[in-house]
Amino acid sequence: MDYRRLGRTDLKVSSQCLGTMTWGEQNSEAEGHDQMDYAIDKGINFFDVAELYPIPPKRETQGRTERVIGTWFKERSSRDKVILATKVVGRTDMDWFRKDGSKPRLDAKNIEEAVEQSLRNLQTDYIDLYQIHWPDRNTGGFGSNPTRWKDVEPAADEVPIAETLEVMDKLVKAGKVRHIGLSNESAWGTMTYVKEAETRGLPRVASIQNAYSLVNRTFEVNLAEVALREDVGLLAYSALAQGYLTGKYRNGARPAGARKTLFERLSRYEGVGADEAMEAYFKLAEEAGLDPAQMSLAFAESRSFVTSLIIGATKMDQLKTDIDASELKLSDDVLDRIDEIHQLTGNPCP
C-alpha cells in the first residue's frame, strides 16, 4: 500500500480509501466491522463516509453508516488508527437531515447541526476531513463535470462559497474538524474555494472527491491541473462504475443482491455508448490476462492527480480483490490501449 500526502496537510493517507456507503443497507453492522478490520490489516488508514449514507438515501436509514463506524471505534478502541472523512449534504429537497424538517443548505445553521450529529454517530470528538458532498449552487448535473454544458437558473438563496468557508473555519478552530474537502465539484468551484481561502485567511480545501473511471475521465484535464498545481488531490469514487466495470452486469445479468438488482438506480452507467465502451475494456483485460475490476482500479490509482482511490464492496471476496489491485502495475502497452479506447469512446458515463 502506498501513502500519499493529503493536500497541503501533514496527513499521509493510504492510496486506497475504504468506502462505506453500503453499510446499514446491503451490509450489516457486523459485516462493516469485518471490512474495517480487514482494511486496517492490509494497510488502509483512510475511511470515507457521509451523513447521507447508506445508499440509496432514505429517511429511515440515514446516518446508519456513520453509526456502524462509531460502534467499531468504541469496540476496537481504534480511532487513532484511522484518518476519517465524512460529508455534509449540499442543497437538496430531501427534508430528513435536519431536526426541524427544513431543506439543507450550506450555511452555518445546517453545517453546525450536521457536524454535531456526525460526531455523535461516529462516537468521536473530531473529523479529520470534512467534505461538502455537493455544491449549494444549482449545477447542470450531479457531479458538476458534464460532457455538455446545460444552462441552469441560479438559486435566489444561493449560499456564497465564502460564507460556507467561514463556517468551516469556526469548526476547525473549535477542533471539531481538522481539514476540509470538496466532492462532486467543478474546476470553477474548486478554484473559487481556493481563492476565497487564500484571500480571506480561511481553511484551504485539501481534496476533491469526484467520480473517475475508465468510462468517466471528465476530471481530466482542467480539474487534473487544478489538483496538481493547487494540491487539491482527487479522492476518486466509482472507479468500477458502480460495479459495471467488474463485468457482473454484462449481457444483462442481474446478480442476486447487487445494487442494480435491488435498487434499479444505476442510470449514470447505462447511457448511450456505455456498453460499447465497457466491452472494449473487457476485451482488453481478457487479452492482457487481467481481471477487469483490478485493471480498472489500477488505472485510476496510478494517475498522478489521484491522492486516494475509494473502494467499496458488499462481499469480503470483492474487497480482497479490490485491495489486491493496489499491487498491480499496468504495462505501458495496456495504458496506451486504454487511451486508444478512450479516444474512440470518450466519457459515456459522466
pLDDT, tens digit, 9 for 90 and up, residues 47-96: 999 999 999 999 999 999 999 999 999 999 999 999 999 999 999 999 99
State residue 23's pLDDT score: 98
- Residue 129 β-bridge partners: 85, 179
* Residue that is written with C-alpha cell 454484462 in the block: 250
Percentage of the chain modeled with pLDDT above 70: 100
Is the pLDDT reported for residue 267 higher than 90?
A: no
Is the pLDDT reported for residue 264 higher than 90?
A: no
Give residue-wise pLDDT tens across range 203-262.
999 999 999 999 999 999 899 999 999 999 999 999 999 999 999 999 889 988 888 889
CB 145 within 8 A of CB 350: yes
CA gyration radius for the chain?
19
Q: How far apart are CA 44 and CA 289, in angstroms?
A: 27
Percent of residues in the chain assigned helix, strand, coil, to nearest 5: 40, 15, 45
Name the band, by pLDDT with cuts 50, 70 and 90, for residue 146.
confident
State residue 110's pLDDT score: 98
3 state SS of 213: strand
Is the pLDDT reported for residue 340 higher than 90?
A: yes
Rama region for 119: left / alpha / beta (φ>0; ψ in -120 to 50; rest): alpha
Q: Is the peptide bond between 348 and the residue preceding it cis, with omega within 30 degrees of 0?
A: no
State residue 260's pLDDT score: 87
Taking the CB of residue 5, how many other CB atoms lie within 10 A of it?
14
Q: Give the Cα-Cα-Cα angle 230, 334, 350 (nearest 5 degrees).
A: 50
CB 237 within 8 A of CB 310: yes
State residue 335's pLDDT score: 98
Is the pLDDT reported for residue 156 higher than 80?
A: yes
Burial class (CB in 10 A: 0-12, 13-18, 19+), 303: middle
State residue 62's pLDDT score: 98
- The mean per-residue pLDDT over the stretch 139-158 comes to 90
What's the one-letter identity of residue 9? T
E strand or H helix at 128, and its extent? strand 127-132
State residue 142's pLDDT score: 87
CB 179 within 8 A of CB 129: yes
Q: How far apart are CA 126 and CA 169, in angstroms?
A: 14
Is the pLDDT reported for residue 265 higher than 90?
A: no
Domains for the chain: give ranges and CATH numbers: 3-345 (3.20.20.100)
Percentage of the chain modeled with pLDDT above 90: 92
Q: How far apart are CA 342 and CA 350, in angstroms?
A: 13
E strand or H helix at 161, and its extent? helix 161-173
Q: How far apart are CA 137 and CA 190, in angstroms?
A: 13
- The mean per-residue pLDDT over the stretch 99-105 comes to 97
State residue 295's pLDDT score: 98
- The mean per-residue pLDDT over the stretch 303-311 comes to 98
Give residue-wise pLDDT tens across range 10-32.
999 999 999 999 999 999 999 99
State residue 281's pLDDT score: 98
**pTM of the predicted model over 0.95:** yes
E strand or H helix at 181, and its extent? strand 177-183
Name residues whose C-beta falls within 8 Å of residue 29's C-beta, 6 or more positions apart in sequence: 23, 68, 71
Question: Is 269 an active-site residue?
Answer: no
Catalytically annotated residue among 3, 38, 53, 130: 53
Grid cell of 125 as nine digits: 470528538
Name residues whose C-beta falls within 8 Å of residue 186's C-beta, 6 or more positions apart in sequence: 139, 144, 145, 223
- Look at strands 3-5 and 12-14 and give their pairing: antiparallel
Grid cell of 312 as nine digits: 467499496
CB 299 within 8 A of CB 335: yes
Is the pLDDT reported for residue 144 higher than 80?
A: no
